[in-house]
Structure formats: structure tokens, C-alpha cells
Structure 1
Amino acid sequence: MTTGQSAIQLIRYRPLLFLGTILFRGLDDLVPFAIGIIMKGFFDALTGESPAGFNPWTFVVLFIIVELGDRSVLISSAFVWARWRYAVSTLLRKNLMTAIMDMSAPHRVSTASGEVTNRLRDDVESIIRYLEQYIHLWGNTIFAILAIIWMARIDVTVTLIAVVPSILIITMINFARRLIRKYRAAQRVATEKSTNFINELFQSILAVKVARTESNVINHFHQLNDTRRKATLVDNLFNQLLRSMSFNINQLATGVILILVAEQMKAGTFTVGDFALFTTYAGDVARSGSLLGGIMAEHKRAEVSFNRMEQTVEEMPDEDLVKHTPVYLKETQPPLVMPERTEADRLDELTVTNLTHLYDGSTAGISDISFRVPAGSFTVVTGRIGSGKTTLLQTLLGVLPKQAGEVRWNGEVVTDLKSFFVPPRCAYTPQAPKLFSEKLSDNILLGLSWNWDNLNRAVRLSVMETDLPTLEDGLETVVGPRGVKLSGGQMQRTAAARMFVRDSDLLVFDDLSSGLDVETEQTLWKRLFETQRATCLVVSHRRAALQQADQIVLLKDGRIEGIGTLDELRRASEEMRRLWEGE
């Protein structure tokens, strides 16, 4: 879609609010026309050239009425404009977030959170500013036409001079369009690099401290910020230069008009009222012309913002960004409906056949992975670092897109892995759990209704009951950004509790035991199998998990090296013997 087509689609989202805003703001933009006529009448009355029946006090009363009415109009427009503005900006953010949540490879976004934040914030604001230009366009256009007609009735030559600035400004902006787009894109890219680096730095503080590279990191951040400063300065300077040129062209034209009008007043062809009218209209007519130039400039900036938002999710069709979907600003949101378990959701057997995912530009990943997970079994995926264990889980769950192979649930092919492997069918604990700066209980429930029995059961299964008394407010403790108030083991067990509280058929753990001591890990597995018919798919290298396993899937260089019990693999596989002896 073009920028114009996208803008029209957004305008049509809340048409009555948009038209209401145009009406009220348009009335405000027409006020100078009425003021000009009143000023002409006032000064003509003072000099005795006013029509019969009108005196200066008549025009004073009219002026007060118009100004009070204008204030009422502005207050009314604020209510309508705010509702329109927040509805459209929320629509853009919601549609982009929806596309991000649905994308086949979300890790591309998760590693660039600063960049995405800028697009959700700055680029949306840039688009809204562009649309707001059209709100003022119609009132200013009508004002300019009426004012030009009225002035032309008095003096055509002077009126033509009043129109010249508009033509010059539009021509100037047209020549500058390429530079407007270039400088805005450079500023946005520089800002993204700086904010992305901050995000990466916060996630790598320990690595920076261990390597003692604080000075190098600070120097690099200074360089990024300096590049951002220069790009922002150029963009703002160019923008201010265009505005300054527009303003000064208007002022020069106004000065020329006033000189011509003064000469004609000396000749007696202009009344004092005509002079007051031209003084009132000249600047506003020129400003109306500069608005067209402003729209052209904002159009190029909005084009940059639309393109950046659309490029956030490459597979998102352009029209989806401005697609009309419901937003809930004042209305009650529909209740969150949790999926209910059906008989088809109950797992009998999970079958993976020739599953493949290779990372872009390399041979790293997994190839032709096939195995079965019977209901109630404990399957462990193991292998050396880099053998593809996490990639296998993420491809199976749809976090990474599969490039070949198929997955069957009870014999039925699963076409959309990402939307299928969710509670109540499946729950997942990643290797590096993500926690929010909320209460511990909220991090476990994540929107589920509060149920003490279910919550206590999840806490016990994750072996957290002894940790709660040590926390500031137990389950009500706010864990801080990324769970900073918790230890690594507590973070992993919080994520495990989040999984247990959903009572899913298939439980997928990615190296859960890496942050647990051996005793805690053994207690967790023991409680899990004592209390429910669990089907577990677990990435682990710990002996406790390997000894518990009904079957082990051994990976090497992204391929299956062997499948079997621990004893079978130790007898048949040199790779398994090395892993076992190397622990």
C-alpha cells in the first residue's frame, strides 16, 4: 500500500470522530476570517465609513462573541480529537503487536526490542502527526479561499502578492522531499542502534564485568550516541530550516503587502478598515499556504515510518498494519477465555518425522530428526553444547519455523505448530525464563484466575515452598525487572510453576536443571511423577534426568546419534559414553 492509501484507511477507522475533529478545528481555522471582517468594520466605524446602524461598540460585542465561541469550539474539539488520536495510535500499535505475536520467527524481534520499541512509539507518533495535518487542511483551505476572494474585491494586485508565498513554499518542499526522507531514515536507524545496544548491555552485564571491558563498552556507546546526536541534529536542523524559510517568506510577503497598502491609503483608495483586514489576512493566508508544504514534508516522514513498521515483521502484508480491528479505550474488553481441554487434546502419542531447521547462511541447526513420545513417558534430549537440543525444542513448538518434516499429535498432522502447542495441550519452560516486574503470583498465573489450590499445587511441584518464606512478601513479592530479586534457580522454578499451574498434557523443559542443585532436581521429578500422569520432553545432561528417562534422544551435530534407554546408549554409542563420563 502507498502512504496515501494507508492514511485513508486510518482516517476511515473512526470517520465520525475524524469528521467531528475537522468540523471543530475547521471552525477555529475560520475564526480569523470573521475577525478580519470585524476589524475592518471596527476601524471603518471609527473613521465614519461604516454602514449605517453600526458603531464601534457593535463590533466590540461581535469580537467578544466570536472569541468566546472559538474557545467553546476548541474545548469541544479537544474531547473529539483526543478520542480519535488515541483510537488510531492504539490501532497501529495493536496491529503491529499482533503481527509480532503471530510471526514464525519471533526471535528476530526479541533480539531487537529497542528497535521495536522505537517503532511502536516514535513511528506511530510520526504517522499521527501526518494525519493531523489533514485536520487543519480543510478549514485553512476554506479560510484562504474566502480571504483571497474578499481581498481581491478590494485590490487584486495586493491579493496576488499574498498568494505568492504558498507557491514558493510548495516548490521548495517539493525539491527537498528526497532529503527529508533521507535525513529522517538516518535519524531513526541511529536511534535504533543506540537503544538496541542499551538492551543488549543490560542482558550482558555479567559478561562485561567478567571480561573487564567496561571502558570499551562505554566508548562504543558514546560512539553510537554521537552518531545518533549528529543524525538527530541534521534531521531537526533541516526541518527547522524549512520552517524558517517558510516563515520568512510569509513575513517578507506580508511586509511587501503592507507597504503597498500604505501607499494606496495615502492615495485614498484604501480605508483604514481595508488596511486592518489585509493586516489580519495576509499572514494567515500565507500560513495556510505553508500548511500544504508541511503536509508534503510530513508525508515523506510518514512514508519512512510506515515502511519501518511494516519491515518489523517481514511476512506481514502491508494492509494488515492499518487493518480495522477493535480497540478498547472506554469499552469493556471481552473476557479472557481460556481454552478448555477436550478429548482430542489428550495426548496418546507425539510423533516427529524428519524435522529440519537450519539457521540462515549456515549448516547449523537440526536435520531429519525423527522420534516418538508415548503418553506418560519421560523423554530426555541430550548432547554436547551446540548439538541442536534447544533448536529441536523450539522448532517442534513453532518458535523457530520448520523447513521440512512433520509433527503428528495422536496421528493427526499439526499444520500450525506455534498455535497448537499451547495449554492445555502443551506447556513450555525455556532455558532462560522471562519474568516480568510484577508479583511472583502474577508471573506464575499470567492472567489465569486466582485459585489457591492450583497455585499451591504448582508451587509444591516446582519445589518453591521453602523459598516463599525467604521472600519479602511471599507470593506477593514484586520480583523486579527480569526477576532480578530472585536467584537463577528460583527464576527457573517460577517458570516451572507457571507451566504446572496450566495442567497440560505435554510438559517441555529446556535444561530446567541447569539452575538447580541435584537434590532439588530429584525432588522436582519425584513429585511430578507422583502426582500426575505426566508426559515430559526434557533437554538435560544431568545424570538424575538421564537415569529417570524412559528413552533418551542423543544428538550430535544437529542429527540423531541414537535413541534408547541409558543402558542401551551407553553400550552402543561412544558419544553417550563420553557424555556420561564427562559429567
Structure 2
Amino acid sequence: MTLLVPLLQALDTGAEASSGAEGLVFDLFARLGIPPTVEAMLVVVFAIVVAQAAMTLLFNRSMFSSVTRFEARQRTELLERMLGAKWEFFLSTKIGRTVTSLTVDATQAGDAFFYLVQLFAATLTVVVYASVALWISWQMTLLVLVGLGGLALALRGIIARSADYGRQVTEANAEVQSDAFEELSAAKLLKSTATEPAALRRFTLEVDTLARAKYLNGMNTALVRALFDPLSVGLLCVGIYLAVTRFSVPLAAIIVFLFMFYRIAPRITAMQTYLQGVLSFAPALERIRDLGEEALRLAERTGGEPVAERLHSGVRLEGVDFSHGDTPIVTDVSIDVPAGAFVGLVGPSGAGKSTLADLVLGLIEPAAGRVLVDGHDLASTDLESWRSRVGYVAQESVLFHTTIAENLRLAAPEADDERLRAALTAASAEFVYELPDGIDTVVGDRGARLSGGQRQRIALARALVAEPTLLVLDEATSALDAESDERIQAAVDALAGSVTVIFVTHRLASVRAAQRIYYLEGGRVLEQGSFEELSSAGGRFAHMVELQQRSSSLDTPSEHA
């Protein structure tokens, strides 16, 4: 389209009299054997436009495919790195930060890549148009290019601020996402204690900070455009004036040059917009990279000796120590968990019971001592192989927002309905089949549609579906009512001999059937033995039994009340 005006003019005056860019086009037509007629010219121009449209479509297809794959890769690779990190990584990283990086930051990283591709394409287009402009009038083109270069230098400081404002937006966005996650997770607490206003004030401060950062970033972009457009037109006017008065450029060439500038100007404006977009969204990519590198730094070891399908001799902790910073959590602790045994770890809060469970699971490593599985040091054992043989039920078991059946199949996707029924029966969770949709019932967010006792029994069934050789219950009944507690106790007692059980609890009645109980206090084992032995020994365990029995009797209504 750019050469259409001078070409038609040249056709009117005669191809032989043409010169410059149109002369080159006529020479090309002659080489290709195309007659220099109006019809041929229009057909060629139309064909060029169609080809350009097709190439643009193919480019956009490739670009959007690349951008979406890039964004998806940022998410999957980051989650893979985080899930491959030690438990220490999750203890030291805010959950809101990780969620924000997987969602908002990944989207913005995709935007940065999109703007980078667009910047490259716009630059290439400008180079092509500038080359054609040089054909038409190299003097006027050089004047405009030099002027644009000077303009870019003048605006460099303003454009560079986009990176700072982009970083502020990214960080403020992360704080808003993190705070929103925490507020909604604590919605029941906030409503129960009438502290919604305080939470809303805190959230409003974060939102205001984000709004301010976005305002500054947007105004910075608008300022560049407000300065660039009039200044670039001013440069063009100077170029045209010099072309007419100094270089005697023909009117037809000036018309083509103006059309060329009309095509180039939006792309040059877009280039600075794309550049600012890259600078604004690049900090999100940096956050993803930093979080991923932190996860890699704390990457869990892989490889090692595989674990047998079933425990033979059992699990043993030999003189293990563990500390959080300078604070000792457990000191010189040794416990034996024979294969097929039911072992209880009891004691007051903060005694180190859950820490020992984490050591057995390989979530943390002892600073001293060893964790042995069938006589093999867990430090040289394949952790994935070991954990795939372990069932785990926590104090607040997480159920995913899907059906009961899908939750049960988490660790055993191949399990059929009969296997699910057997696990539900073993966990005293037959209530599932009384629900309107049975095992196809959707449990809601984190199992919100079920009671606490029902969630725990489904969590126990989920652990049993995988047919573990070791079952770890970490305060699994501490938040339950007496009836739910008794149901889970009965289910665990029935597993005796077929599954090795470690029951971490401060409810002593939960481990009455245990073959061996370890009483911990202050990170040390103070007493060990069976329930009857420890109850009659008159020690700390017996005192704790007495306190809990007294509390239980006070909670039970009198017959004469």
C-alpha cells in the first residue's frame, strides 16, 4: 500500500520515466514478466495484503501458543520445585506467597513474555518500514531517526521507572493475595470474635498500597505517551520542512513518507508501551525465580535404598536430637516401634511428640542420632519409597473439594470400589453410604460439608486405602468429641497386628490398647511401658491419667442432677 500512490503516478507518466523506489518495483515486475498495468498492480498489491494478513495470523498463533505454554511452565515447574523441597521450606514460607506466585505472578510473567514478543515484532516491523523510507528519502529518514533516538534518550529515565513501579505493584499484589487468603481462612474466628473490622482495616491498607502502586505505574505509562506523541509529530514537521526547503524532495515522495510515518508511528508508540510492559511485569518473573531457587536450595534428597513392601523388624529412633534454631525440641530420644505393634507417644503440648513423628516420616532430619527402618538408616533410604508405605492422619486432615471417592483414591488411584468399602469399614466410616450420593458426595472446601469426626474417619480410610505398613496418627482425635474419638480408637485397635501404628496424642485414653507407650516431657522420654504399667508406677504418666480422669468425671453429669 505504501508505494501505491507513486506507482500509479509512474504508470500515468510512463514506467520508463520512473526512478527511485518505484523504478525498482518496475524493474522487479519486468524480471518476473508481469506487465506494468493498473490491473496487474492492483492484483499484486491485493496479493501482498492477503499474504501479510496470513503471516500475521500465523505469527499470532505461534505467539499465543508460546505465551500460554510459557505461563503454564512457570506454574508447573514452580509447584514441582516446591513439592520437591524439604518440609523446612514450607515452615519458612508464607502460604500466601506461594499461592500468589503460582497464580498472579505466573500470569504477570506470561504478560511480560507476551510484551517481549510483541516488542520484538514491532521492532522488526519498524526496521522494515524504515528501510523502505530510506529508499524514498534517506535524508528525511535519517533526520527523523536521529530525532527519535534523541527523544528515546530524553524519555529513558521515565521509562526506566516502570521497572520500579512494576516491582511495587508485584509486591503489593502479593501482600493483598496473602492477606486475603489469611482473612478468608480465619473467617470463622473473625466472625466469632467480632474482629471483622480489624481484619478489614488491615486488608484495606494493603489494597490502598496496591492501588497507589498501580496508579503510579499507569500514570508513568500515560506520561510517556503524552510526551512522545506531540514530540514525535514535531520531529516529523521539522523533517518535512527540511526535506522541502533543503533537499528538494518530490511531493509524491513526501506523501509516501507521510503514509509510511502514519504506519510506523503507532508501532513506535506501541514499542515504548511494550517496553514498559516488560519492565512492569518482569519483577513477577523475578519473584517466581527467587521462590523456585529457594525451593531448589532446600530440595529434598532423592534416590537411596528402596523400602520393602512390609516392615519386618520395625522402626527405631536412636538417640535423636532436633532443634529449631537454638531451641532444642527433642534431646537424646530413643524409641522402638516393632513391626505390627501399636505404640503411643504421649505427653503435654510442646513435649516433642509430633517432632518425633516428623522424624519417622523423613520430613525433618535429626541433628544427631539415627532413624532406622528395618535396621537401615533413613538418611540413606529412598524417601519416596518409604513414604509410599506410610499412612498419615493429622489433627486437621485436609479433604479436597471433590468427591469422597476421589479423596480416598489420593494415594491409590487404582483402588476399586470394593477396596474403598473395605477401608471405610476399617475406619468406622460406613456413614458414607447413608449419604444421598454415597461415595460420590462432594465434601466441600476442606471437607466443610462434613463434621469433624466424619472428616477424620474419611482421612483414616484414605490412609488405609493405600494399604500402608506404618500408620502415623498425629493428634488425630484431639479435636473430636468423645463418640468420634471412641470410633477412631476402635478402628485403630482393630488394626493391631496387621499394621504398625504410631499414635501421637495427649489424650491418654486413645492409647489404652497400645503395647508400648512413651511419655515425653521437655523433649525427653521420661517414662515408657504399657498403659497399666505406667498407670501404676505413680509417675508423671499416672499423674496425667488422674488429671484427665478427674476432668472427664467433672464433664459427666451426675445421676442425681
Please indicate, yes or no, whether the TM-score normalized by the shorter chain is above 0.5: yes
- Give the Cα separation in 2 of the matches to 1:271 and 1:38: 14
Does the Cα contact within 8 Å between 1:424 and 1:503 map onto a contact in 2? no
- Of residues 514-523 and 64-73 in structure 1, the stretch that sits farther from structure 2 once superposed is 514-523
In structure 2, the CA distance between the partners of 1:173 and 1:299, relative to structure 1 (3 Å rule), is farther
In structure 2, the CA distance between the partners of 1:578 and 1:420, relative to structure 1 (3 Å rule), is farther
In structure 2, the CA distance between the partners of 1:401 and 1:191, relative to structure 1 (3 Å rule), is farther
Counterpart of 1:453 in structure 2 is 418
Counterpart of 1:351 in structure 2 is 316
Counterpart of 1:311 in structure 2 is 290
- Give the Cα separation in 2 of the matches to 1:489 and 1:225: 38
TM-score, normalised by the number of residues in structure 2 = 0.82
Shift of 1:295: 6.5
Counterpart of 2:180 in structure 1 is 198
Matches within 5 A, 1:317-332: 317=296
Counterpart of 1:487 in structure 2 is 451
Counterpart of 1:372 in structure 2 is 336
- Of residues 500-509 and 126-135 in structure 1, the stretch that sits farther from structure 2 once superposed is 126-135
Counterpart of 2:462 in structure 1 is 498
Does the Cα contact within 8 Å between 1:462 and 1:497 map onto a contact in 2? yes
Q: Which amino acid aligns with 2:433?
A: L
TM-score, normalised by the number of residues in structure 1 = 0.79
Matches within 5 A, 1:501-512: 501-512=465-476
Instruction: Classify the secondary structure of the residue corresponding to 2:477.
Output: helix
Matches within 5 A, 1:65-104: 65-104=47-86
- Give the Cα separation in 2 of the matches to 1:460 and 1:74: 62
Instruction: Classify the secondary structure of the residue corresponding to 1:415.
Output: helix
Identity among equivalent pairs (%): 21
Counterpart of 1:215 in structure 2 is 197
Does the Cα contact within 8 Å between 1:105 and 1:400 map onto a contact in 2? yes
Instruction: Classify the secondary structure of the residue corresponding to 1:514.
Output: coil
Does the Cα contact within 8 Å between 2:457 and 2:488 map onto a contact in 1? no
Unaligned runs of 5+ in 1: 1-34, 321-340
Counterpart of 1:270 in structure 2 is 250
Does the Cα contact within 8 Å between 1:406 and 1:413 map onto a contact in 2? yes
Instruction: Classify the secondary structure of the residue corresponding to 1:195.
Output: helix
C-alpha RMSD over aligned residues: 3.3
One of 551, 556, 571 as aligned partner of 2:521:
556
1:348-402 deviation digits (Å, cap 9, x = unpaired): 2101123333334x62633333211111111111111232322332343233454
1:159-191 deviation digits (Å, cap 9, x = unpaired): 123213542354256434763332222212211
Counterpart of 2:139 in structure 1 is 157
Instruction: Classify the secondary structure of the residue corresponding to 2:431.
Output: coil
- Give the Cα separation in 1 of the matches to 2:5 and 2:111: 33
One of 461, 473, 498 as aligned partner of 1:533:
498
- Give the Cα separation in 2 of the matches to 1:249 and 1:358: 65
In structure 2, the CA distance between the partners of 1:576 and 1:109, relative to structure 1 (3 Å rule), is closer
Instruction: Classify the secondary structure of the residue corresponding to 1:376.
Output: coil
Matches within 5 A, 1:562-573: 562-572=527-537
Does the Cα contact within 8 Å between 2:106 and 2:284 map onto a contact in 1? yes
- Give the Cα separation in 2 of the matches to 1:465 and 1:571: 38
- Give the Cα separation in 2 of the matches to 1:221 and 1:416: 47
- Give the Cα separation in 1 of the matches to 2:141 and 2:94: 55
1:197-229 deviation digits (Å, cap 9, x = unpaired): 221122222222232212211122212211121
Matches within 5 A, 1:364-403: 365-400=329-364, 402-403=366-367
- Give the Cα separation in 2 of the matches to 1:398 and 1:342: 13
Counterpart of 1:577 in structure 2 is 542
1:429-480 deviation digits (Å, cap 9, x = unpaired): 11111111101110111261241221001111111113431x3311111111
One of 95, 100, 109 as aligned partner of 1:113:
95
Provide runs of 4+ in structure 1 moved above 6 Å: 46-49
- Give the Cα separation in 2 of the matches to 1:313 and 1:367: 33
Does the Cα contact within 8 Å between 1:173 and 1:293 map onto a contact in 2? no
- Give the Cα separation in 2 of the matches to 1:263 and 1:108: 71
Counterpart of 2:44 in structure 1 is 62
Does the Cα contact within 8 Å between 2:397 and 2:459 map onto a contact in 1? yes
Structure 2 residue 3 is the aligned partner of structure 1 residue 37: yes
Q: Which amino acid aligns with 1:231?
A: A
In structure 2, the CA distance between the partners of 1:237 and 1:387, relative to structure 1 (3 Å rule), is farther
Does the Cα contact within 8 Å between 1:381 and 1:538 map onto a contact in 2? yes
Structure 2 residue 170 is the aligned partner of structure 1 residue 188: yes
Structure 2 residue 401 is the aligned partner of structure 1 residue 437: yes
Instruction: Classify the secondary structure of the residue corresponding to 1:437.
Output: coil
Unaligned runs of 5+ in 2: 27-34, 300-305, 549-561
Counterpart of 2:554 in structure 1 is none
Shift of 1:139: 5.1
One of 209, 213, 221 as aligned partner of 1:231:
213
Structure 2 residue 89 is the aligned partner of structure 1 residue 124: no
In structure 2, the CA distance between the partners of 1:317 and 1:499, relative to structure 1 (3 Å rule), is closer
- Of residues 498-507 and 445-454 in structure 1, the stretch that sits farther from structure 2 once superposed is 445-454
Shift of 1:131: 3.5
Counterpart of 2:553 in structure 1 is none
Counterpart of 1:282 in structure 2 is 261
Counterpart of 2:440 in structure 1 is 476
Q: Which amino acid aligns with 1:282?
A: F
Does the Cα contact within 8 Å between 2:63 and 2:114 map onto a contact in 1? no
- Of residues 194-203 and 74-83 in structure 1, the stretch that sits farther from structure 2 once superposed is 74-83
- Give the Cα separation in 1 of the matches to 2:381 and 2:394: 16
Does the Cα contact within 8 Å between 2:122 and 2:271 map onto a contact in 1? no
Shift of 1:278: 0.8
In structure 2, the CA distance between the partners of 1:383 and 1:297, relative to structure 1 (3 Å rule), is same
Shift of 1:154: 3.7
Shift of 1:537: 0.6
Does the Cα contact within 8 Å between 1:251 and 1:283 map onto a contact in 2? no
Does the Cα contact within 8 Å between 1:140 and 1:288 map onto a contact in 2? yes
* Aligned length in residues: 523
In structure 2, the CA distance between the partners of 1:540 and 1:418, relative to structure 1 (3 Å rule), is farther
- Give the Cα separation in 2 of the matches to 1:178 and 1:402: 49
In structure 2, the CA distance between the partners of 1:255 and 1:347, relative to structure 1 (3 Å rule), is farther
Shift of 1:106: 5.9
Larger radius of gyration: 2
In structure 2, the CA distance between the partners of 1:315 and 1:189, relative to structure 1 (3 Å rule), is closer
Q: Which amino acid aligns with 1:561?
A: L
Does the Cα contact within 8 Å between 1:508 and 1:536 map onto a contact in 2? yes
